[in-house]
Amino acid sequence: MDSPWKKWFPTLMVFAIFLSPLLLISPKTYITLTISGLAMGMLLFLVASGFSLIFGLLSVLNLAHGALFTWGAYIGFTSFGLINQWTGWGGSESIFLNITIFLLALLTAGLLVALLGVITERLVIRPVYGSHLFQIFITVGAMIVLEELVRIVWGPNDEVMPVPISFMGSYDLFDVVVSKYPLIAIAMGLIIYFVILMILRKTKLGTIVRAGVENPEMVQVMGHNIYRYFTGVFAVGSALAAIGGGMWATFVKSIHPAMGGEVIIFALIVAIIGGLGSITGSVVGALLVGLSYNYVAYLVPKAALGITMLLLVVILSIRPTGLFSEGT
Amino acid sequence: MNPVQQFRLEEKGVRFRNPYFFLRILLLAFFVFTPFMFRSFEVLDVVLKIIIFSALVASYDVILGYTGIVSLGHVLYFGIGCYSVGIFMGNLGWISYGHLALAFLIAIAVSGILSVLIGLFSLRIRAIFFAMVTLAFMEFAFILSSQLRSITGGDDGISFKLPGILAVDYSIGHFLGIELTGRILSYFLILLICMILFLFMLRFVHSPVGRVLQSIRDNEPRSIALGYRTYLFQVIASSFASCVAAVAGACFAIWVRYVSPDSSLSVSIMLDVLLMVIVGGMGTLYGGIFGAAFLMVTRAFLPKLQVLVGSILPGVPMAARLSERWLFYFGLLFIIIVYFFPKGIVGTVQEFFSKRRTS
């Protein structure tokens, strides 16, 4: 009876929130805000999807995710600096070289943080699988240690994140100001979303992971070493957090050791709204949060975080498990 | 006779033979005589913060150790208590005993209602949602308190004066060689309040409701099968603990006479509370005292340790940074304790003695 309503509810909700500010904001500002909202949403998606996937498969509430995000931002910062010193691509006018160095920095961040994630998972989280209470504690401990390590290695102060030359500035389309970097962020987010979705839907690996989200014991019965997949998903989630961190740092043009803690709150909200363990849910949740945050920040700056909380409360009251179910 | 009554009767029988009973009396005596033994304000400050944080950590333990649900936003209610006193005394400037009492009542009412609301919609599905939602709400409150400048004073916070005998410049004369100033009197007032809170919590966890909470912690499906609506009991526990935390927060505000987002609502206080609970031991209530004492004393000595490291290894920036980041070692300690002593100090000691008794 109510299945079509349930099926279309999330989509309708997105469109309602998407269009309602037009009543209050002029169309040109609206488009600018929408683009920055979409960019923020995509960056949040990168953080939240890893968090959500890890929770879905491992059922670990990984509070150290924010610290991994910070690590990604800092490694991206350092590797960008090093490559730029070596080749000078970041300062050149060519957009191709700019994108190459940007992707190289993100790749380094992703790979190194994936390694860090594997170490964290093996060393810290694996011994406490199955006990929710101790998992939360242990990830809080890991969060403190990782964040303090950032302070020890890079120092406690803010740093200015270098941005490739052609990423700065904006286009002027029919009097509408469109910044360049948000477009790149949206494109990157969409590409990563579709890659993850294709891997989950079309490959054997993805099938096993989705099955593991549904029922880990059954996957083990079928002869797959589920712990190997746990580590793998943790590594991928960490890499996504790191890429998100690097891109976020380029977005706000500065990095500081506590940045992960601020973003992880958003990621938590996004993951809960979208439904823990669902990639599509993360995208929808992230876009909802990003867009509503930007519109409200323009209209009533002080209520921006309030609207995010309101969204969380409303959605949890209507659909207590989030918009999408696990494994989608 | 039901099991609870039987337990009480048994406890009454061995009350004066129980070594823990005398330990408690000793502890209380220590707290009462601290102002007479140590003249320096620093020591008094550390001891009083131990007292307040013991109450806060014990209230957190009611949720965590006795009910088995994880809240990551417990400090929110502590902050509500702080700000309630701060706003009444500082912002509105209503400096009188009646308004102080009113601030306490409002703090209790607001945190009780808020925690019931948060519990009602986040505990419904999975207890793990509770951790995330409470964390998000605490962060929200933190940002709100630093943004609403006209009410909370923003990042600068509010400093305020207290009425009558609690004011700093008040004095009623000398007793046992010390001057009974407003500071000392507020020390005793807070000690009294925290002791009452503690006894209240002990009574709560040993009441029939507390028994149900422990059964939920140990085996939730079974307590559902026994006919308890576990969800409602969890909400009761969380709102009770929140009210206690609010009173502890109001006491903290009375002692420091200043509230700001960083000193009363931040995530770092939540981390402190978590660490204290873990060090002291979950599900013991008394663990909170030891956890708070450990953390507060260590923290008081840390600056001296830094100077020591600086004098041993001068000119090594990495060493200076490593000694500065004491939170790093606390994080490591946190992980180590969770692995090897998941019961904390009090739990491990209790286990040791009970093993010796049986063998």
CA distance between the termini of chain B? 31
pLDDT band at A256 (very low <50, low <70, confident <90, very high): confident
Interface test with B, best of A44, A133, A143 (most B CBs within 10 A): A133
pLDDT above 70 for B61: yes
* % of chain A surpassing 70 pLDDT: 90
- For B197-218, what is each residue's pLDDT tens digit? 988 898 898 888 888 888 888 8
User: Is B330 part of any domain?
Assistant: no
CB-nearest partner of B338 from A134, A145, A265: A134
What values do phi and psi take at A304, rounded to 5? Answer: -60, -45
Domain of B151 in residue numbering reads as 40-299
pLDDT above 90 for A140: no
Query: Phi-psi category of A130—alpha, beta or left, where left has phi over 0 and alpha has psi -120 to 50?
Result: left
For chains A and B, count residue pairs whose Cβ atoms are closer than 8 Å: 96
Chain A: closest CA distance from residue B150 (Å): 13
Q: State the angle between helix axes of A226-252 and A180-202 in degrees (0 to 180), rounded to the nearest 10.
A: 170
Which chain A residue has its CA at the smallest distance from B145's CA?
A302
Q: How far is CA B337 from CA A61, A134, B39, B274, B345, in A?
A: 19, 11, 35, 12, 9
CB contact under 8 A, B136 and A302: no
- For A11-28, what is each residue's pLDDT tens digit? 776 677 677 777 777 777
Chain A: closest CA distance from residue B354 (Å): 24
CB contact under 8 A, B148 and A302: yes
Asked whether this complex has an ipTM greater than 0.85, the answer is no
User: Is B334 part of any domain?
Assistant: no
Find out whether A284 and A274 touch, Cβ atoms under 8 Å.
Answer: yes
Of B89, B194, B85, B72, nearest to B141 by C-alpha is: B72
- Any idea what DSSP says for residue A162? P
User: Is B231 part of any domain?
Assistant: yes
Degrees to nearest 5, angle at CA B341 with B336 and B347: 145
Interface test with B, best of A265, A272, A273, A308 (most B CBs within 10 A): A265
- For A229-252, what is each residue's pLDDT tens digit? 888 888 999 999 999 988 888 888
Alpha-carbon dihedral sign for residues A124, A132, B243, B278: negative
Which chain A residue has its CA at the smallest distance from B68's CA?
A133
Q: What is the pLDDT of residue B231?
A: 85
SS3 label, residue A253:
coil
Q: What is the pLDDT of residue B110?
A: 93
Question: Using CA atoms in the order B166, B168, B172, B176, what is the torsion angle rounded to 10 degrees?
Answer: 100
Q: How far apart are alpha carbons A3 and B146 in whole angstroms?
A: 44
CATH number of residue B65's parent domain = 1.10.3470
Question: Using CA atoms in the order A91, A96, A98, A102, what is the torsion angle rounded to 10 degrees?
Answer: -160
Listed by start position, the domains of chain A span: 28-261
User: Is B2 part of any domain?
Assistant: no
Strands A159-160 and A254-255: antiparallel
pLDDT above 80 for A6: no
Mean pLDDT of B282-310: 82
Q: Look at chain B and report how many structural domains it folds into.
A: 1
Interface test with A, best of B266, B277, B334 (most A CBs within 10 A): B334
Q: Which residues pair with B171 in a beta bridge?
A: B181
Chain A: closest CA distance from residue B339 (Å): 8
- For B255-276, what is each residue's pLDDT tens digit? 888 888 888 888 888 888 988 8
pLDDT above 50 for A1: no
Mean pLDDT of A150-161: 80
Find out whether A78 and A279 touch, Cβ atoms under 8 Å.
Answer: no
**Global confidence as pTM:** 0.86
pLDDT above 60 for A109: yes
